[in-house]
Amino acid sequence: MLDDLAPFRDNPELPVLIFLGGVLIGMLAEQAQQRVRRWRWRARKGGWKARRRPRRDLRVVGAKAGPPDAADQLRTVMASRFTARRVLNRAEERVFKALDEAVIAANPSWQVMAQVSLGEIVRADDREAYACVNSKRVDFLLMDARCRPRHAIEYQGGGHHKGTAAARDAVKKEALRRAGVGYHEVVAGHTSPSELRRLVARLVDPPADAPRSSSAPEAGEAG
């Protein structure tokens, strides 16, 4: 027994080193256990999140990406109820009739169109710029004998410049200006029928066979 304790008598630091080694081994074991517990907790948490988060590689059977095709549109339309609506309100109708009468009187080959989409009368190289005006409309459009858009006429009723109307009008006006199409406004309560007729007479080209006025007196009128 005493012989077994001889190394400790010869090396008094040995018990201290053994004790410190045991403490170090215990600390390392505790850290390893903590890492194992942390890994298991993260694994459980990650699995729970994975169950909540939809899988990106899974697709719903029957779902279609992109806009609906013609068959889907037809099914949607067949399941809905449609009713006809007026193209123009009462005030716009009066302006349209006055415009149509004045245009026919100035040049019967010209036409007055109502509620025309800008996407049908202007083009743009930039797709984003075209998208800004494609769905916008002008109240009235004067079209010449060759079916070219010549002048847009906007009727500004009581709701003029309310909300974003002024900004939308500015977009339309600039797009038409860049396309070489005239833009004119008829304001409710300010533009009289005679002023409207004068505007049309100024905008519409006279017929090709219309006699030209001349300031020179004809033969037999002089003297």
On whether residue 114 sits in a domain, the answer given is yes
Does residue 140 sit in helix, strand or coil?
strand
On whether residue 76 sits in a domain, the answer given is no
On whether residue 189 sits in a domain, the answer given is yes
Summarize pLDDT for 153-189 with one digit per residue, the tens. Answer: 999 987 655 668 889 999 999 999 999 999 999 999 8
**pTM score of the predicted model:** 0.63
DSSP-derived secondary structure letter, 119? G
Give the mean model confidence (pLDDT) for residues 53-63.
56
Number of domains in the chain: 1
Does residue 1 sit in helix, strand or coil?
coil
Distance CA 191, CA 121 (A): 26
Contact of 198 with 184, CB cutoff 8 Å: no
Give the mean model confidence (pLDDT) for residues 32-43.
73
CATH code of the domain in which 173 resides: 3.40.1350
Contact of 185 with 153, CB cutoff 8 Å: yes
- Count CB neighbours of 188 within 10 A: 15
With CA atoms as reference, report the closest residue to 114 among 153, 82, 144, 161: 153
Tokens (6 digits) for 183 = 């833009």
On whether residue 179 sits in a domain, the answer given is yes
On whether residue 37 sits in a domain, the answer given is no
On whether residue 186 sits in a domain, the answer given is yes
State the pLDDT confidence band at 31, using cuts at 50, 70 and 90: confident
Tokens (6 digits) for 115 = 């509620």
Summarize pLDDT for 110-134 with one digit per residue, the tens. Answer: 999 999 999 999 999 999 999 999 9
On whether residue 84 sits in a domain, the answer given is no
Give the domain range for residue 136: 90-203
For residue 32, the model assigns a pLDDT of 74
Is pLDDT of 50 > 90?
no
On whether residue 104 sits in a domain, the answer given is yes
